[in-house]
Structure 1
């Protein structure tokens, strides 16, 4: 890790020296991160990162406390990431983003890309997000709640793979299609087990009025997955990463394949927004009770609403089909910053036939204070309900800066 940190520091120093050396054609500036670029547009580099520190407090019904223990509170660095991204000769791009939250370097986005390919658009190879679910495609820097809804666990967020993607000329439609393999935290899959995951997503802007800050987003995604080791599992926590796992299918042996389908929708009208998704997983695996392959079905959905008390609006990126950075009308110090309230309901069912993974529904209330475009403080209160087992009350806070 020391060598890696030294390398990152050296990159920062070199880029700064280039920008300040008087070398013609290069400039440096700050735009939510440190950027160095050439005036001819052929080269650019950006350095940045994010720090998210979470605190959580729990209270359980007696039944849940007996099952999951008596932990009452916790604290963690949820994310501690640094990245360097850039463009080389206009059409070659790259990114290396590492997370040090657990004390070791974990690959997040580490890839090389080519843009401007005729009939395709863009090609990316490396370790990056599979194109599935609006909440996943929206960066953790811009999430409305501290944690994504439980359905995020149905498919790993990132894997190593090859993906083609593009958008129409008017940016009303985006699409992505990739082939992936399950990889470790360094993005490697060194054992050849013929695993194959094909994931695709298409989204559209059904309506947009930039003056009134209105947008209607619709999307659909599918993933066909063939686990190389013949196993499958889904597990999920409530609305805090510090909480224990509440529902879990455990390992389903003899899995032949899995088909995942999701639909997504979002509406923004000025300070108000509404968003929801449904994800369904159909698993073809051995059912020991009947001695042959069988279908097991699991699902999860959520819907949430949010409102900016200070009049801001969620910003939508037409090129990615996801949401991006919120900028307060007046930063804290010059004004109140931006204040947002939100409420979310979610339900996840991991029980079908002989698989008793459990059910969980959850209501989460959120309050977000955006001090400026790169920092915010979040407060969530959640009630997680497990039928026949009891309820859990969770209070979570996050202190965040990204650049």
Structure 2
């Protein structure tokens, strides 16, 4: 099966390319490897736990056909399982002066989520990522107005790891996002945005679990709601870059609406994070676009031949508050160092301090501290 997939991804497109004019079809092939190692301790009296994993092993083929049709096929092989990531076809510059994308891709919600895992500042995204899945199957319109304003809006179905929704539940998620680039010059960048997602939940349930930003660690926070009529997610985002310094934060509020026969008809779940990074070696965090967020860091001097690469110091706080539903509060604090050997190779070190409590009043019930390392290469 895997051999067949490799043939489909690489051989067939290559043959097609050879039989077409270069001006008509453009293609790009690439991939990423992320290998993680982690040591963590849950509680003062527990033994340390150790683990390692290939966090991501991906290959992709993307391109454009006759100038106005784009596509991407990205597959993930981590943990020995095959799953679809971005698999879509996009029509560019149609009558509506924008782009229409159809397939399996990220819903336009959360700046950190839309930024590729190749370029995120920390090994794991912040806690509020758990409120909704990153990718689903659907159709989306997106456009940019005057290099300042961006708009994305789409309808999505809840899909499995192959991008299929075969349960025919008639549950539709409507997700939209509006951003504004306040400034973008040589020294300063300021990005702000707001997003909303109205979600009809399959089987009238809504639930998720969250680790303390250690993918190998323990699931400290678990939630499950039944009798759900709808969930609504409201998000705000801001990012500021000034030369070596970068600041970013997001706030998300999820409203869970239950059927009238339940004692409490509505719960509010909250989450946020704030992060800061600083390059000791003089680089700046590059901004790609309002829809795809930040991009590749290019060291002033690559590692080797008397070069040291780029060194970035990072820190973050994040929180998920489910106390309104009696499910606890999860806090996480992270410090770390990123070493960019060259534009395509990075080594990351994160130390994460996670705390779970029943509420702000009752104090901490569970702690998990994690020391993590990632070696990453993409091409």
- TM-score of the two chains, using structure 1 as the length reference: 0.88
Match of 1:220 in 2: 194
- Is the 2:69–2:92 contact (alpha carbons within 8 Å) kept by the matching residues of 1? yes
For residue 262 of structure 1, report the CA deviation from its aligned partner.
Answer: 0.5
Task: For residue 246 of structure 1, give the secondary structure of its aligned residue in structure 2.
Answer: strand
Report the secondary structure of 1:118's partner residue: coil
Equivalent residue, structure 1, for 2:361? none
Alpha-carbon shift at residue 333 of structure 1 (Å)? 1.2
Q: 133-142 or 385-394, which moves further after superposition? A: 385-394
CA RMSD of aligned residues (A): 1.8
User: In structure 2, what is the Cα distance between the partners aligned to 1:205 and 1:321?
Assistant: 13
Partner of 1:155: 132
Map 1:52-201; keep pairs closer than 5 Å. Answer: 52-62=34-44, 65=46, 72-168=49-145, 170-201=146-177
Out of 164, 185, 188, the position equivalent to 1:209 is: 185
Question: Number of residues paired by the alignment?
Answer: 371
* Runs of 4+ deviating beyond 6 Å: none
Shift of 1:350: 1.9
Asked if 1:350 is matched to 2:318, the reply is no
Partner of 1:2: 3
Query: Which residue matches 2:30?
Result: 48
CA offsets per residue over residues 106-143 of structure 1, 9 Å max, x none?
00000011001122410000000000001001000000
Residue of 341, 362, 369 corresponding to 1:371: 341
2:204 to 206, 212, 230: 230
Instruction: Render the CA deviation track for 1:221-267: whole Å, top value 9, x for unaligned.
Output: 00000113100012211121111111111x21100000100000011
Change (3 A) 1:24 1:105: closer
Q: Kindly state the Cα deviation for residue 317 of structure 1 after the two structures are TM-superposed.
A: 1.6
Q: How do 1:224-303 residues align onto structure 2 when only pairs under 5 Å count? A: 224-249=198-223, 251-286=224-259, 291-292=262-263, 294-303=265-274
* In 1, Cα distance between equivalents of 2:112 and 2:168: 31
**Equivalent-residue separation in structure 1 for 2:94 and 2:290 (angstroms):** 16
Secondary structure at the aligned position of 2:4 is classed as helix
SS of the residue aligned with 2:6?
helix
Q: What runs of 5+ residues in structure 1 fail to find an aligned partner?
A: 26-37
1:280-304 deviations in Å (ceiling 9; x for gaps): 10000248xx745611111110101
In the other structure, the counterpart of 1:35 is none
State yes or no: 1:320 paired with 2:291. yes
Give secondary structure in 1 for the equivalent of 2:304: coil
CA contact (8 A) 2:116 2:292 kept: no
